[in-house]
Amino acid sequence: MSKHNTLPAPSRRRFVQGLALGGLATGLSLSTRPLLAANTAPTLKPHPVLSGTEFDLNIGHQLVNFTGKEALATTVNGSLPAPVLRWREGERVTLNVHNNLDTDSSIHWHGMILPTEMDGVPGLSFDGIAPGETFTYAFDVQQSGTYWYHSHSGFQEQTGLYGAIIIDPKEPEPFSYDRDYVLMLSDWSDTPPERVYANLKKMSHYYNRRERTLADDLIPEAQQDGWGTALSRRQMWDKMRMSDRDISDVTGYTYTFLMNGQTPASGWTGLFNPGEKVRLRVINAAAMTFFDLRIPGLKMTVVACDGQYVEPVNVDEFRIGAAETLDIIVEPTEHKAYSLFAQAIDRSGYAHGQLTPDITLKATPPALDPAPELTHMDMGMAMAAGEHGGHAGHDMPMSHGTMSHGTMTHDTGHAMPTQTAAMPMNHGKMDHGKMAHGNHDAMPAGMHHGNGPASEPAYQGNPLSAGMPVHADSEYGPHVDMRAEAPQYRLDDPGVGLRNNGRKVLTYADLRSLHPTPDTREPSRDIELHLTGNMSRYMWSLNGIRYADADPIQLTYGERVRIILVNDTMMPHPVHLHGMWSDLETGDTTHLPRKHTLVVQPGARLSYLVTADAKGEWAFHCHLLYHMMGMFRKVVVS
């Protein structure tokens, strides 16, 4: 399709008509009647869309029923998801947010560039909105695209306080379409989130019902490959006290996955006429879930990511991390219902809806993919035998658990300042080339596990040539259970469960901004942050230091910095910097994709450039809700 606009953008009238989110709407008044969502027939009742420049948003409680059981949700104007807010680039919006809850609340405008006091983070931007109080947000809308808003207080985001933001651009969009729908994905649990969090602290695998078992996989595997092979495959993981089936902390065991606030059973429905171009604004508003979305029978053209235009990419499937947004265009041509299938990363369930030319047609979701299994690579270990040229059969050691870290400090000669607990780690201007892979042979040969699966693929996408990481002293102790010893740039890795699945899966390496990189300065310094935790104790931190104990990250107003994230855990983390764009380093410096939330794959690293062009105190955190309190930093730009 054409990259540049040939048609005028659809009229506002058409937008509003097309923007049917379906099912759950109860109007704009604060309603006390229950929102019934379970097992209802597909409906096309429009989801509330509020447009203009002045908005009244009422935060309150609402009874919902997604599972056959009533539960209390946190909603805006009685709606879950909250109403779609439709703004125009260049206008000033005023939002009166009234808190009807009996606890503090807040709304954060995710991905918006705005003054720090309008950002909505209690403790940083403002004091939060006390019960019964109204806070008026007012700011200029300086961008366009698809964004979202959510509570930044307690666990209110888990219980329903999230909604879409659509900003119509001043300039015509570089693509055309006939219909426009929001697909807001989320995860709902009837269990109160405080209880979910406590369950995870008491038994971290509480929600993982896909652990390996004797009957389901060891015995069949042993019969096929022999007991020796089958057991030795488990040996590494068991020895490490970790599970290669540990994909998601909170799963379909408690979650019902929603699409625009509708369960798979009720099935959100969007209409199209065959031959029309349909724009889907996919927003992952889940508290804890990564979704893999595909529409069997349709190619999807990705045109924007995190609200920002990218060069169109055709894919069959994409993974979307919590808080990311993706705009895609599809062209369904057949007279049939197409399944919008968003399976959770651990395959414990899915969100589902459909695009159909006829309300009486119903799409059937495809079967879930097999449960993914983590590999050495996802643990930040070097690849197994045969994958790494000259290093065949020589696996890298990995330090974790009770292994003495004395033998694991990699004093292999590269001149790199070893940081102590002082944060943030500032490596100054480092020559990454010096820390290239040449050190492998000098590493102590630690654990050998030559029996790993031989088919783990190797990924390139290494714009900066990764070096051995240096782990701060603060990363050692009972609060951190592993450290990646060979984290790679893996931007072209579709991620666990999507590799070699026969479909073209979007990766970060495919993203190229449509516009040239606005700030082409070299970064003045690197800030390296390690995503750390102890899964079994359910503790999360950055560089081994939780937010409550951490010093803020100081940025100088106007400076351009590189942030390097190293994932020392075995799960992906979507990391969000408030108030400033994150320009993901993909290797193509002229067109870096601009994002607000970046997913760092397990055992991997990535880097991005930030221009500190917004004074104030900003939040920087993992967007998985139950990780956020520990994996959080205050960023001060002054």
Partner 1 sequence: MKLHTHWPLLALLTPALAQGGMNDDPVLGMFNVKQLEGAYSEGDTRLAWNIEGWLGTDLHKLVLSSEGARLDGRSEEHELRLLYRRAIAPYWDLQLGWQHEPLADKRDDRALLGVNGTAPWYLETEFNLLAGPGTDLTAELSLEREIRLTRQWVLSPEVGLTAHNFSDREEHQGSGLADLDLELRLAWEVRPDFAPYVGVTWERKLGDSADLARDSGHDVDETLWRVGVSFWF
What is the binding site for partner 1 (CB under 8 A)?
A: 104, 121-124, 128, 153-154, 197-199, 201-203, 205-207, 209, 211-216, 238-241, 400-402, 421, 477-481, 534, 536-540, 546-549, 628-630, 632, 634
Nearer residue to partner 1 within complex by CB, 156 or 260: 156
Cβ distance 317 to 293 under 8 Å? yes
Nearer to partner 1, 279 or 576 (CB): 576
Which two structure tokens, joined as six digits, stand for 192?
Answer: 């109160």
In angstroms, give the least distance from the CB of 203 to partner 1: 6
* Shortest distance (Å) from residue 211 CB to partner 1: 6
What amino acid occupies position 42?
P
Question: Phi, psi at residue 536, to the nearest 5°?
Answer: -70, -30
Kindly give, in sequence order, each residue whose CB lies less than 8 Å from that of residue 42, ignoring residues fewer than 6 positions away: 22, 23, 266, 267, 268, 269, 354, 359, 362
Instruction: Report the nearest approach of partner 1 to the CB of residue 539 (Å).
Output: 5
Q: Which is nearer to partner 1, 459 or 547 (CB)?
A: 547
The angle formed by the CA atoms of residues 586, 584 and 593, to the nearest 5 degrees, is: 85
**Is residue 113 within 8 Å of 139, Cβ to Cβ?**
no
Nearer to partner 1, 162 or 309 (CB): 162
Closest CB 249 distance from partner 1, rounded Å = 13
Cβ distance to partner 1 smaller for residue 160 or 630 = 630
Nearer Cβ to partner 1, position 128 or 467? Answer: 128
Residues 6+ apart with CB under 8 A from 128: 104, 105, 106, 122, 153
In whole angstroms, the minimum distance from the beta carbon of 202 to partner 1 comes to 5
Nearer to partner 1, 124 or 164 (CB): 124
CB-based burial of residue 170 (10 Å sphere; 0-12 exposed, 13-18 middle, 19+ buried)? exposed
Residue 115 or 461: which CB sits closer to partner 1?
Answer: 115
CA-based nearest residue to 17, from 80, 82, 86: 86
Least Cβ distance, residue 529 to partner 1 (angstroms): 17
* C-beta of 50 vs 539, nearer to partner 1: 539
Report d(CA 467, CA 433) in Å as an integer. 8
CA distances from 136 to 30, 36, 151 (A): 19, 31, 15
Instruction: Give the amino acid at 296.
Output: P
Least distance in angstroms from the C-beta of 130 to partner 1: 11
Give the nearest distance from C-beta 601 to partner 1 in angstroms. 22
Estimate the share of the chain in helix, then strand, then coil, as percent rounded to the nearest 5: 15, 35, 55
C-beta of residue 305 within 8 angstroms of C-beta of residue 281: no
Distance of closest approach, residue 4 Cβ to partner 1, in angstroms: 44
**How many Å separate Cα 145 from the centre of its chain?**
18
